[in-house]
Amino acid sequence: MYRSVTVSALSDRSRPRTFLVGLFDDDQAVSGDHQGLDHRLGGALAEAIKRPELRRKLGQIHMLYPSGSVDRIIIAGLGERKSANLESLRIAAGQGLRAAHAASCEALAAAFPDIEGKPTLEDRATAIGEGIGMASLDFDEFLGKGRAEPGKSKASATVKVSVDRPMLSGVRRGLTLAASANYARRLAATPPNIASPAFFAAEARKLARKHQFKCSVMDEARLKRLGMGGILGVGKGSRNRPVLICLEYRPAGGRASDPVLLVGKTVTFDTGGYSLKISGAMAGMKYDKCGGMAVLGAMDAIGSLKPKVPVVALLPTVENMIGPDAFRVDDVLTMNNGVTVEVTNTDAEGRLILSDALAYGCRKYKPRAVVDLATLTGGVVVALGDHCAGLFCADDLLRERLVDAAELSGERLWQLPLWPEHRELMKGTHSDLVNSGARRAHPIQGAAFLSFFVGDEAPKRMPELPWAHIDIAGVAALDKARHHLPIGPTGFGVRLLAQLIDNWPSRSGKRSKS
């Protein structure tokens, strides 16, 4: 169920019955941010801070029931003041929203203190809106009679949130970003018997109508004419035929200019092909489309935010199955840019479909920069765990843009190396490349392989075109709830990409936000 959230300005005449208040764990008294509010609440916050059992660790929730005109106060812990950041606001606001919904609150007033590090008021308010919005989604769309609760409907509920007027635009922006992330999360959670390549082609067309994007869907016949050997090879084993989806955003009234190219791996289900995954490793492979869903979600946000830079999104969309026509180990595929690839592992399929999309997109659209997202390797999970994605980017300015966007969105990145020596790992004997080499430098191999398809000179040397590969295999989905996010897809990358694009025109060579 998705609980829609509306936001309005809190005025002197407002008489909210529920307050959501963020408090630091190490504050010994009510801070200046909350003194006026505490007076309005009859000193309830000052009393709560004095009580040792009411700890305010990050994400911790307490309910107070004061007498008078207020029904309840939801205290959301922000942890220690010195370590608080935008993500702290996101978590506390999200936890507070979930507590309010559990208490059947239909309206609440939210108040959060300033944090150190000097993020702007707009950034703080955006983070609060993101937290509230991201917490409003539960993955219960496919629950049936076996789990239905008597008297409860799946119909969406609305929660009305009031904030101080200076916070209003930022919170609205955060809710917009969260709604797009939730759109991606719902699509990622959709099971593979529904979410086929044709399903996503239809979804892209709906998104294009919503935002007046240009949309094209390249079917199997056109993919053959374009020499998309990677997409065709991976998709051969499925009755759900592969497609390449393209969405184009052009700013209204803007001069024609080179776009930013976004590419998202969209494998609707991955059996591993004939390099078959063991049964335990196959569960959750509907999430192998999360890179593409992040790009779709980002395009939804871009359509709402209307940034000044043009964007083209490509989603190579396949199902990797076993069948009489499925591709095999030892097959040699010819890719869109003429590079040949010997298949050494049919479970290294994501790089094959991404490579065709990258080569095609670079040649056709002449982008100013390229960013691809993919659940590409298990190796990045081993290397980095599930709290950050792996970033491969040799271009200093693009990397700084992404780091800035990551700090604003809370979707953390960690750079891994990619050197010409790593490309040697992918050289073939009977073909130009192999799609999977030895186990050494495993997460880097995926990026090294992709580097042969970015720009005209890529087969011969490292790409000169600004390009970033982001491996989201560890962060695309949660196997246990984390703060306000339930088990399931996280929508990682939606807000990161939207922030990247929206801030692009104002970005100089120096870091501009903390």
At 99-155, the pLDDT tens digits run 999 998 989 999 999 988 878 999 999 999 999 999 999 888 888 878 656 555 544
| Distance, first Cα to last Cα, the chain | 35
Place of tokens 């978590």: 91
Residue 487 counted as domain residue: yes
Say if CB 285 and CB 349 are below 8 A apart: no
Apex CA 216: angle with CA 211 and CA 221, to 5°?
Answer: 165
Do 185 and 277 share a domain, yes or no?
A: yes
Query: Which of the four pLDDT bands, split at 50, 70 and 90, describes residue 339?
Result: very high
Indicate whether 514 belongs to any domain: no
Residues 308 and 418 in one domain: yes
**156 and 194 in a common domain:** no
| Residue at which a domain ends, from 129, 163, 197 | 163
Per-residue pLDDT, 510: 41
Task: Clarify whether residues 41 and 103 are in a common domain.
Answer: yes
Domain end: 109, 128, 163, which one?
A: 163
Say if residue 455's pLDDT is above 80: yes
In a domain, 507, yes or no: no
pLDDT the model gives residue 440: 87
Per-residue model confidence (pLDDT) at position 160: 92
In a domain, 305, yes or no: yes
pLDDT of residue 28: 86
Looking only at the bridges linking them, the beta strands covering 243-249 and 332-334 are unpaired
Domain co-membership, 139 together with 214: no
Whether 266 and 312 share a structural domain: yes
Which CATH number fits the domain that encloses residue 119? 3.40.220.10
**Cβ pair 146, 15 in contact under 8 A:** no
25 and 111 together in one domain: yes
d(CA 98, CA 102): 6
User: Are residues 10 and 98 both part of a single domain?
Assistant: yes
Q: Indicate whether 184 and 138 sit together in one domain.
A: no
Please check whether residues 266 and 137 belong to one and the same domain: no
Q: Considering its fold, how many domains does the chain have in total?
A: 2
Tell me how crowded residue 498 is: count the other CB atoms within 10 A of its CB.
28
Residue finishing a domain among 139, 163, 187: 163
| pLDDT category of residue 509 using cuts at 50, 70 and 90 | very low
Distance CA 438, CA 442 (A): 8
Cα 294 off chain centre by:
5
Q: CB neighbours of 122 closer than 8 A, spacing ≥ 6?
A: 169, 170, 173
Question: Does residue 371 fall inside a structural domain?
Answer: yes
Flag whether 120 is in a domain. yes
CATH number assigned to the domain comprising residue 410? 3.40.630.10
Domain span including residue 429:
179-502
Is residue 351 a part of any domain in this protein?
Answer: yes
Model pLDDT, residue 150: 54
- Burial category of 504 from C-beta neighbours within 10 Å (exposed 0-12, middle 13-18, buried 19 and up): middle
Residue 173 lies in a domain: no
270 and 151 together in one domain: no
pTM value? 0.95
Residue 193, both tokens? 């018997």
Q: So which residues are the catalytic ones?
A: 277, 351
Closest to 361 measured CA to CA, from 257, 262, 231: 262
Residues 108 and 147 reside in one and the same domain: yes
**Pick the residue with more confidence: 145 or 377?**
377
